[in-house]
Amino acid sequence: MKFTNSPMQEVTFNNRKLYIKRDDLLDTHFSGNKARKFYYFYKNDFKNINKLVSYGSAQANSLYSMSVLAKLRGWNFEFYVKHIASFLKNNPQGNYKAALENGAKIIEKNVEDLNCFIKKNIYQCDDTLYIQEGGREKEASYGIEILANEIKTWQHENDIKDLLVCLPSGTGTTALFLQKYLDCEVVTCSCVGKDEYLKKQFFMLEENEKYHPKILEKPKNYHFGKLYLEFYEIYKQLKKQTNIEFDLLYDPLGFISLFNSSYIKTNRTIVYIHQGGILGNPSMIERYNRKFCFKK
Ligand SMILES: *Cc1c(COP(=O)(O)O)cnc(C)c1O
């Protein structure tokens, strides 16, 4: 199995030429930035480990990707969630359903119970490997450096001098390590919290601000996971104009911020990273249809 070397695709969106780094196409089951972030744990030897533990939201892309990782490695997998909505329990779907099918044990339990790992800041304890929420780990740099090198190779082969790389952030881990390993400018936007939160995340992984990506301004404040008509509209436009399905949580804001910025009016070559995550789309689309009463 090979979880590297995704294709680069040229597209035009709203009359602007862009390149899409198709990390969503890495592998059907192990793709997107989670595959990059967890590559270290896929590739390296972990003696005596037979269990993987993590935590986060019951719908998280990282939940599904970790269930695939655990399956590939033959590890048991426990995922702690503060609360699982009864609707989801009774109607498993998306990442949650797919993770269960991979044998994940999704447990309602407080994150504080993982103190042994969090406090000591270690990721191995007896026979258990622990990965932080969303893969915010310095080990993530291992796979992201490979992604950066793929972009660099493409850049040199095509003699591109004014490259700009853009991607939306959750924890900011992917954007931060990309900025560290690329020679060009990396821009991002904060999808999960305010810009100050993202900045803090950057500092947790890298003290030197020189390596922090630039945070693009957003036209207004958005709350993660909430439904916004403009998100659904740009998602549909992207699909129509590029024939590519993007995720509904991060990418709408990524494209809105990019197309709102002055970069789009320059001649610079722009690469947008498709970070996967479309397994959650059907349930998001259902929510959009319910909320805004679209006809199917
Ligand atoms: C996890 C995820 C992100 C955020 O990645 P970070 O490294 O946490 O910033 C963005 N897009 C998609 C599709 C994701 O699954």
Q: Which domains does the chain have, with CATH numbers?
A: 8-30+140-292 (3.40.50.1100), 34-138 (3.40.50.1100)
Picking from 173, 218, 170, the residue whose alpha carbon sits closest to that of residue 192 is 170
Encode pLDDT of 205-254 as tens digits: 999 999 999 999 999 999 999 999 999 999 999 999 999 999 999 999 99
Encode pLDDT of 149-165 as tens digits: 999 999 999 999 999 99
Encode pLDDT of 256-283 as tens digits: 999 999 999 999 999 999 999 999 999 9
Q: Which atom of ligand 1 is nearest to the CA of 277?
A: 13
Mean pLDDT for the chain overall: 94
For atom 3 of ligand 1, the residue with the nearest CA is 170
Predicted TM-score (pTM) of the model is 0.95
In percent, how much of the chain has pLDDT > 70?
Answer: 96
Dihedral sign computed on CA atoms, order 104, 175, 202, 200: negative
Confidence at residue 119, expressed as pLDDT on a 0 to 100 scale: 56
Q: Which atom of ligand 1 is nearest to the CA of 171?
A: 8
d(CA 7, CA 161): 20
d(CA 75, CA 36): 19
Pull the structure tokens for residue 27.
């592998």
Q: 170 in ligand 1 pocket by Cβ < 6 Å?
A: yes
Q: How far is the CA of 201 from the centre of ligand 1 (A)?
A: 13
Q: 276 in ligand 1 pocket by Cβ < 6 Å?
A: yes
Q: How far is the CA of 33 from the centre of ligand 1 (A)?
A: 6
Q: 174 in ligand 1 pocket by Cβ < 6 Å?
A: yes
Cβ neighbourhood burial of 9 (10 Å; 0-12, 13-18, 19+): middle
Q: Which atom of ligand 1 is nearest to the CA of 173?
A: 7
Q: 275 in ligand 1 pocket by Cβ < 6 Å?
A: yes
- Look at residue 17 and give its three-state secondary structure: strand
Picking from 86, 42, 49, 92, the residue whose alpha carbon sits closest to that of residue 68 is 42
Residue 116 has pLDDT above 80, yes or no: no
Picking from 143, 139, 161, the residue whose alpha carbon sits closest to that of residue 152 is 161
Q: Which atom of ligand 1 is nearest to the CA of 247?
A: 13
Residue 122 has pLDDT above 70, yes or no: no
Question: Across residues 135-151, what is the average pLDDT?
Answer: 93
φ, ψ of residue 92 to 5 degrees: the values are -55, 135
Pull the structure tokens for residue 35.
């595959």
Residue 296 has pLDDT above 90, yes or no: no
Encode pLDDT of 68-82 as tens digits: 999 999 999 999 999
